[in-house]
Structure 1
Amino acid sequence: MTDFGTNLVAMVTPMEPGGALSEPGLTRLVEHLLATGCDGIVVGGTTGESPTLTDAESAGLVGAVAAQAGNRARVIAGVGTHDTATSIRRAREAEAAGADALLLVCPYYSRPTQDGVLAHCLAVADATELPVMLYDVPARTGVAMAPSTLIELAGHPRIRAVKDAKGDLFEAMTVLSRTSLAYYCGIDGLNLPYLACGAAGLVSVVANVAADRTAELIRAVRRGDLGSARAINDSLLPLTDTLMRSGTGAANAKAALVELGIIPSASVRLPLVEAKTAVPA
């Protein structure tokens, strides 16, 4: 867990109207996340609109967040793409920019076999000295990481965690029982059951606006206070429903952050479109 933290946020990428990156928005957002209890910041992941970021923008964001966070939080750089060579290049650039760890999504669009998934992940893990969190999200990639693949990848000394957005709790418990991989819930609606099943922490979109409450949820489960954990989870359900089930998480989270006065604009890059109404937080 020290590789990645426990209360991780899938950070949005603040942008100005028209799509340029917002440096003031980024600075205010990072301070907000640190102040509300994030000990891990995922930069350039799905919620950060990674497919629209250039290599230079991705590395620049990692460097800026790492410099600002210092030793207050781990910085995990999203480097996965559909192309192994590009993913390796982004991993090396993230390492040079100051990332503490990498988030590596299953390669998308090409729909590789499990042998291809395995070879891709091993190649990226071999490319730097950073610890790797695998990102299993078949709804976006079209390919799931099979349990046998995860178990084999766990043998690599730098592959140490999984962000699970698959939602199969039995499979997660099975892999947990057979490996030393740390599991992180990547579906905000399932944070409580994943923690109860032994997840090390969360990679949360909702934490952009409610990291204090996701931190409380983690603490309650860890001390075995499931009554309090359920109450905290219940308090988060309306926000989770609004952010994650009524449109695009990235756009909705930006709208909520504007409502809170954290970032100046809810702008996103196409093909995403800005949330039409402000999201209450």
Structure 2
Amino acid sequence: MASPTGTSDAPFGRALTAMVTPFTSDGAVDYEGVQRIAAYLVDEQRNDGLVVSGTTGESPTTSDEEKDRILRAVVEAVGDRATVVAGAGTNDTRHSVELARAAERAGAHGLLVVTPYYNKPPQEGLVRHFTAVADATGLPVMLYDIPGRAATPITTESLFRLAEHPRITAVKDAKGDLFAGSQVMAGTDLVFYSGDDLLNLPWLSVGAVGYVSVVGHVVGPDLVAMCDMYRTGDVAGALETHRRLLPVVSAIMTRTQGAIMVKAALTLVGQDGGYVRPPLVDATREQIAALREDLITGGLKLVD
């Protein structure tokens, strides 16, 4: 299925949020909540793309059947007006291929494939893993480079090799090496998306086309405005927005696991993000109190 918001220079759109998965108090997936949040993120938070079943979506603790139902629910809710990217990466190549094929059948517009985690494959193993997943479907692939979680970075040399694959088109970078990313962008056709809300503006400054955000759950319009200002030459305006959002980014992304805090933030702005699933734990009262103050400082309007 063709992406409704992708362009030749930004194949997955520009403003993407890595969407939470809402769970009920007894740990079940709230599929109505999935559709409600997807619509909110697109219609109110101005995202032109959603990443489904990423880490923020708590993919390590959802089954393949749940992933399929979550993806189908999102495609049904917003697939005609936003790019829906399915998380299909695991540390097992065969399993990743199965998830990729299931995502294609469910109507995803693209795939997010994370570096295999924990088993620490060599670079040749990474290249073969990503190639196998890209070969498995007709969908475009966004590689997810996040050594802080996966333990292994994708080297510049490996990215040059992977860029030769016709369906590997983008990188979500949470490695934070702007120089290495600049080298890859200068020498290949791969497009980069910031995968770290702390570095959204710096990544734009070296050529990234957009971002895959977590804080986009609650400050989506601000991030879109920042990106638009930078791209049209209003660097001072983009910098002002970047600095105003620092308390929000710090509160959600630096104090505990991001899914925990962004679900709490959704509640504070009047949206039901649901519960987290173990081994995650819901935010404490103290964390929520500090979060409230930082969201207000960042300019958000909260519910009582």
TM over 0.5: yes
Shift of 1:28: 2.0
Which of 7, 10, 15 aligns to 1:7? It is: 15
Instruction: Give the match's secondary structure for 1:261.
Output: coil
| 1:135 aligned partner | 144
Correspondence list, 1:70-219, <5 A: 70-219=79-228
Q: CA deviation at 1:272?
A: 1.1
The share of aligned pairs that are identical, in percent, is 46
Which residue of the other structure, out of 31, 39, 47, is the alignment partner of 1:31?
A: 39
Task: For 1:26, give the aligned amino acid.
Answer: V
Q: Is the Cα–Cα contact under 8 Å of residues 204 and 227 in structure 2 kept in the other structure?
A: yes
Three-state SS of the structure 1 residue aligned to 2:120 is coil
Partners of 1:157 and 1:207 in 2: CA distance: 30
Is 2:256 the counterpart of 1:247?
yes
Amino acid across the alignment from 2:38: V
- The yes-or-no answer on 1:44 pairing with 2:53 is yes
Runs of 4+ with >3 A deviation: none
Note the alpha carbon deviations across 1:12-54, whole angstroms, 9 max, x for none.
1111112111123222211210122100100000111111110
Matched with 1:234 is: 243
Would you say how many aligned residue pairs link Structure 1 and Structure 2?
A: 280
2:18 corresponds to which letter in structure 1? A
Q: Are the aligned partners of 1:11 and 1:42 in contact in 2 as well (CA < 8 Å)?
A: yes
C-alpha distance in 2 between matches for 1:142 and 1:241 = 23
Map of 1:273 onto structure 2: 281
Q: Within 2, Cα distance between the matches of 1:151 and 1:273?
A: 40
What is the Cα deviation at residue 253 of structure 1? 0.3
Q: Report the Cα distance in structure 2 between the residues aligned to 1:263 and 1:182, rounded to whole angstroms.
A: 33
* Structure 2 CA distance for aligned equivalents of residues 27 and 87 of structure 1: 25
Partner of residue 29 from structure 2, selected from 2, 6, 21 = 21
Report Cα offsets for 1:170-193 as digits up to 9, x if no partner. Answer: 001010000010100001011010
| Corresponding residue of 2:3 | none
Distance 2:273 2:221 in 1: 22
Residue 74 (structure 2) aligns with: 65
Shift of 1:264: 5.6
Q: 2:243 & 2:13 partners in 1: Cα distance?
A: 24
RMSD, matched Cα: 1.0
Question: In the aligned structure 1, how far is the partner of 2:86 from the partner of 2:54?
Answer: 7
Give the distance between the partners of 1:120 and 1:70, measured in 2 at CA.
28
Q: Distance in 2 between matches of 1:254 and 1:70?
A: 23
8 Å CA contact 2:263–2:273 kept in 1: the answer is: no
TM normalised by structure 1 equals 0.97
Paired AA for residue 9 in structure 1? T
Counterpart residue number, 2:301: none
Q: How far apart, in 1, do the equivalents of 2:103 and 2:273 lie?
A: 26
Q: Distance in 1 between matches of 2:210 and 2:174?
A: 13
TM superposition score normalised by structure 2: 0.90
Q: Secondary structure at the match of 1:219?
A: helix
- Structure 1 residues 197, 23: closer, same or farther in 2, change over 3 A? same
